[in-house]
Structure 1
Amino acid sequence: MIGVRAGLLAAVTGLVVLLAGLALFPGIGVAGLAVGLACAAVLGTAADRSARRAGVRSWGPADVVTLGRATLACGVAALVTDALVAQPSVPVLVSLAVVALALDAVDGRVARRTGTVSPLGARLDGEADAFLMLVLSVHVAAEVGAWVLAIGVVRYAFAVAGWVLPWMRADLPPRHWRKVVTAVAGIALVWAVADLPGTYAALGLATLLLAESFGRDVGWLWRRRSASVAVVAPAAGLASP
C-alpha cells in the first residue's frame, strides 16, 4: 500500500520523466509537452478528489498499476498532439500504447489476487481505458476518417447521458464481455496506428462491439429504471477489474 498523495506524486513524477525522454527522442515539441503536463495536472487532481470522496487513504497494488497505465496514456496524448503539427514517431507511439494495453490485463488480476478490488479502482481503470482510446482515436481519425472518433467518445457520451437521465447512473453488474470489448477496441486502434493490413475491418469490428456492449448496458438500465439509484456507473461498456 502507498498513500494517495505519495502515489500521485510518483505518477506525476514518472510522467514528467517520460515527457523529458520524449522531448529528447523522438523530440516532441511544445504543444505535445503542454498537453502532457496538462494531463499530469488533471490526472493528479481528479484522482485525488476521487480518493477523498471515496474515503480512500492509500492505493492498493492494482491501483498503482492503473496509475502507471494512466501515466503512459498521458504520454500517448503528448505524442498524438505532437503528431498534429509534426511527423509522428509511429514506433514510439505504438510501443507506449501496447504497454498501456498490456497493463490493462494486469491490474484486474492483481486486484483479485490481492483482495483489493474496489469501486474506486474500477472507476480509475475505466477512465484510463476511456482516455487511452480517446487519444488513439483522435490520431487514427486523421488518417481513416472522423467515424473512428466514435470508439473514443462513446464512454464520455454515456457519462453525459447520465447527467441528463438519472436512471443511467445506476450501478451496472460486472460483465466479462466488457473487458473483451475494451481489449478488442484498444488492439484495433493500435493496429490502425501501426498501419497494418486489415485496419478498416479491425476498426469496424471494434465499433460494432462497442455499440453492442454499450447498447446492452443501456437496455439493462432502461429495464430497471424505476428502481435505479442515482450513483455513477463505474465504466459502462468498458472493462472494470
Structure 2
Amino acid sequence: MELLLRLLAAHVILLALSYSFVYCYDPSPLQDFCVAANETNRVFVNGKVCKDPKSVTANDFSYSGLNIPGNTTSFMGSNVTTVNVNKIPGLNTLGVSFARLDFAREGLIPPHIHPRASEILMVTKGTLLVGFVSSNQDNNRLFSKVLRTGDVFVFPIGLIHFQMNIGRTRAVAFAGFGSQNPGTITIADAVFGSSPSIPREVLAKAFQLEANLVRFLQIVYGPALWS
C-alpha cells in the first residue's frame, strides 16, 4: 500500500510539472480577461493595468484593417502590420498576437528575432523563401523552405529568421505569435545601429571586418539616416 501511494504521489508530481510547462511565456490570466487600460502613470510588470471589467466592450477584443495592403516602398520592400496588445487591449494576459506581412517584388524582412514568442506563418499570396538558424549548440544550422499560397512554417522562439519574396508578384502572409507583445530585434539594426554605437574595434574583430567598413555600416544603419 505504501509503495502504491508513493507511485501515485510521483505520478501527480510529474503531471503537475508537465502541466506547468505547456503555458506560453506570458503570464497566465486568473480571470476571464484583463483588458489593458490606457494608463501610463502606473508601474506594471509583464502586462498592463486592467480596465474595470464593467467598462469592457466587444470593441476591446477586435481590430479592423488587416485587409488593407501595407506600404512596401521602404528600402527593404516589405511592411509588417502588427496586431498586438497595443492594438487590441483585450489581448492583455492572453499570450497571443498577430501580424500581416506585405512584400513587394524581391521584398525582404531581414534576419531578426522575437525574444518573447514563437511564430507561425501562412502565405496567402505569392512565393516566399523563409528560414531560421538554430543556436550555437546545434551548430547554427539553417532550416529553409520555399512557401507558396496556403503553406505554413514555424519559427521557434528567440532564433534568427527571415522571409523574402522570390516570386514575380507581390506577396502577402499572416503570422501568429505566442505572446501579446513578442518584440522584434532586427540583427543588422541592433548590431550596427545601436545608440550609442558599439565600439568599432569590437565589431571589426567580431565580424572580421575593416574598421572603415564597420564605420560605413554604422552610418547606413544608424538612427541619423532614418530620422
For normalisation by structure 1, the TM-score amounts to 0.24
Identify, as 1 or 2, the structure richer in strand. 2
Q: Looking at CA atoms only, which structure, 1 or 2, has the larger radius of gyration?
A: 2
The structure that is helix-richer by fraction is 1
- Which structure has more relative contact order (CA 8 Å, sep 6+)? It is 1
